[in-house]
Amino acid sequence: MFAKVISGTPFGVEARLVEVQCDVGPGLPGFSIVGLPEKEVSEARERVRSAIRNLGLPFPGTRITANLAPADLKKEGAGLDLALAVALLVATGEIPEERVAGLVFYGELSLDGELRPVKGALAVALAAREEGLSGMVVSHPCAPEAALVDGLSVYPVRSLGEAVAFLKGEADIPPAPKEIPEEPPPTWLDLRLVRGQEHARRALEIAAAGGHNLLMVGPPGAGKSLLARCLPGILPPLSFEEALEVTRIYSVAGLLPPGQALMRFRPFRAPHHTISYAGMVGGGHGVPSPGEITLAHHGVLFLDELPEFDRKVLEALRQPLEDRKISVVRAGVAVTFPASFMLVGAMNPCPCGHLGDPLRPCRCRPHEISQYRKRISGPFLDRIDLFVELPRLTKEELLGDGSGEPSEAVRARVTQARERQRDRFQGKARTNAELGPQEVERVCRLKPEAKRLLVRAIDHFALTGRGYVRVLKVARTIADLAGADIIEAEHLAEALQYRAFEEGES
């Protein structure tokens, strides 16, 4: 007999639906799976065989062939186990064929028939809704994330036996409710902990308000890393649409925290400087998996000790910083990952870290300083919006009470500025950093005195075309923080001062 059911397989940060076709016919006993299965899919033969036998049902002693269509799509992950078992039971007449119509099946089987959680349940649910399917039968731990998808009934099952009883009409399983639990925010570091560095605090606020890239340069102990780790605490929470995107990425990557159905807060990724090229952009065996730049989508990618990163890794960031996405090709498989993130970098002014320090003289030779700075290319620096130099903290700042403005107050201003941008973009959760060339001309309107200042600044700062556009975007954000509709000279002047580092250091 022949039967077919629908399942899915992760593909990048999305999922592709797979038609699991099962034929039970005459021939030598055997169980083969065809259709470009990866090793974990091929091993499903033994899991399905043991699960059906432990359920007390007869396993066919004839030839079993399972085809995973489309045949030219690589299938990976253990999520196809449940669909393979159900297709086999439909083919042998244990489950009525009409009961599987319109459903997608997704879950990993244990040898005793229990269903285990799998990666990418949310992505498969989204793909099922797009194809017009009515429901999804999924392992119980994955049901909360799949139930976030509107228009799809999600039936959580704990075992193959429970799934069979449901499909035979012997058990009633209500659809999992859509729940968005209220979770306490992560314990991000508070800006009150930052002593001094008012100029850098202001730059951090501007970067958060407009989604801009930021580079901080200063001696060890000036507060660069502390400032960066305070940044998530002043960012507004994710919208539901953004949260779904982030959750889908972390679900496919297998990084969704246990018991957490939805990522409510912006990710903060801080990879070590020894990270590989594939670890940053994505890669791995079979279908490429997301890298750090995708895991930072709608959040922050913090690169501490920036010059210590491999040059090829840093250069790989140039395209996603512009396009907000990255295409990865591995062994003939092309995947496009989303990559809309804020880049925050921190570095010392020289190898020893004390260049310009009034108390500790720099021991570096001129050629060593030059080589250190050349580790970061000009085109990479051209994609940075704000450059901030942090001086050594004074003894007054170190011994002070440290009662600076808290993150909560700064977050209120940042959220208000982002609301202005949302209104400007007609409800879309976009930032000024994402403005295209045509939108910059329309949105970044200048007062006459601001235009005159910009004309003089182009030559003084040797602005490239990209640098010119980035200055306007930063000025637009500063105007949003001030509640102004048109960019004034003071807004543009403040934006220009954050390009001064580039003039002297790049």
Q: What is the pLDDT of residues 135-163, one digit of tens each?
A: 999 999 999 999 999 999 999 999 999 99
- Structural domain range at position 211: 191-434
- Report the length, in residues, of the chain: 506
* 127 and 19 fall within a common domain: yes
Q: Is the pLDDT of residue 506 over 60?
A: no
Closest CA to 417 of 234, 293, 184, 268: 234
Q: Is the pLDDT of residue 33 over 80?
A: yes
* 112 and 261 fall within a common domain: no
Render pLDDT for 162-175 as a digit per residue (tens, 0 to 9). Answer: 999 999 999 999 99
Closest CA to 169 of 99, 272, 119: 99
What CATH number has the domain bearing residue 295? 3.40.50.300
Distance between CA 325 and CA 329 in Å, rounded? 13
Going by pLDDT thresholds of 50, 70 and 90, the confidence category of residue 472 is very high
Work out whether strand 115-116 and strand 108-109 pair parallel, antiparallel, or are unpaired: antiparallel
Distance between CA 494 and CA 206 in Å, rounded? 10
Dig out the tokens for 441 from the structure.
């001309």
454 in a structural domain: no
* 235 and 375 fall within a common domain: yes
Q: Is the pLDDT of residue 69 over 60?
A: yes
Q: What is the pLDDT of residue 427?
A: 65
Lowest mean pLDDT among 39-48, 172-181, 296-305: 172-181
* 162 and 214 fall within a common domain: no
Supply φ then ψ for residue 46, to 5 degrees: -75, -35
Q: Quick one: average pLDDT of 302-326? A: 94
What CATH number has the domain bearing residue 24? 3.30.230.10
Cβ-Cβ contacts under 8 Å for 143 (sequence gap 6 or more): 121, 154, 155, 156, 176
Supply φ then ψ for residue 210, to 5 degrees: -115, 0
Q: What is the pLDDT of residue 184?
A: 67
> How many Å separate Cα 383 from the centre of its chain?
20
228 in a structural domain: yes
Going by pLDDT thresholds of 50, 70 and 90, the confidence category of residue 429 is low
283 in a structural domain: yes
Q: Domain boundary residue among 382, 405, 434? A: 434
> How many Å separate Cα 342 from the centre of its chain?
11
User: In whole angstroms, how large is the CA radius of gyration of the chain?
Assistant: 27
Dig out the tokens for 463 from the structure.
């602005």
Q: Quickly tell me which residue has 């990666």 as its tokens.
A: 119
95 in a structural domain: yes
Cβ-Cβ contacts under 8 Å for 114 (sequence gap 6 or more): 158, 159, 160
Number of separate domains in the chain:
2
How far is CA 365 from each of CA 351, 352, 370, 371, 421, rounded to the nearest angstrom?
10, 10, 9, 10, 47
Supply φ then ψ for residue 344, to 5 degrees: -125, 120
Cβ-Cβ contacts under 8 Å for 60 (sequence gap 6 or more): 24, 88, 92
Render pLDDT for 359-374 as a digit per residue (tens, 0 to 9). Answer: 888 999 999 999 999 9
Distance between CA 78 and CA 33 in Å, rounded? 13
122 in a structural domain: yes
Q: Domain boundary residue among 383, 408, 434? A: 434
Q: Which amino acid appears at position 97 of this protein? A: E
* Element of type H or E holding 35: none
* 213 and 163 fall within a common domain: no
Count of other CB atoms within 10 angstroms of residue 69: 15
Q: Which amino acid appears at position 167 of this protein? A: L
464 against 275, higher pLDDT: 275
Q: What is the pLDDT of residue 284?
A: 78
* 132 and 247 fall within a common domain: no
What crossing angle do the helices spanning 448-460 and 465-482 adopt, rounded to 10°? 140
Dihedral of CA atoms 124, 127, 132, 135 in degrees, nearest 10, equals 10
Q: Domain boundary residue among 434, 454, 474? A: 434
Helix segments in 282-349, DSSP class H: 292-295, 311-315, 318-323
Distance between CA 316 and CA 323 in Å, rounded? 12
pTM for the predicted model, two decimal places:
0.91
* 294 and 153 fall within a common domain: no
Q: Quick one: average pLDDT of 208-221? A: 94
What crossing angle do the helices spanning 465-482 and 489-497 adopt, rounded to 10°? 120
Cβ-Cβ contacts under 8 Å for 187 (sequence gap 6 or more): none
How far is CA 401 from each of CA 16, 194, 287, 395, 404, rounded to the nearest angstrom?
56, 11, 53, 12, 9
* 151 and 291 fall within a common domain: no
Q: Quickly tell me which residue has 């250091």 as its tokens.
A: 505
Supply φ then ψ for residue 381, to 5 degrees: -65, -30
Q: Quickly tell me which residue has 């543009």 as its tokens.
A: 492
Distance between CA 385 and CA 165 in Å, rounded? 59
Dig out the tokens for 53 from the structure.
């036998």
Q: What is the mean pLDDT of the chain?
A: 92
* 13 and 59 fall within a common domain: yes
Q: What is the pLDDT of residue 403?
A: 67
Distance between CA 274 and CA 242 in Å, rounded? 30
259 against 95, higher pLDDT: 95
Render pLDDT for 35-59 as a digit per residue (tens, 0 to 9). Answer: 999 999 999 999 999 999 999 998 9
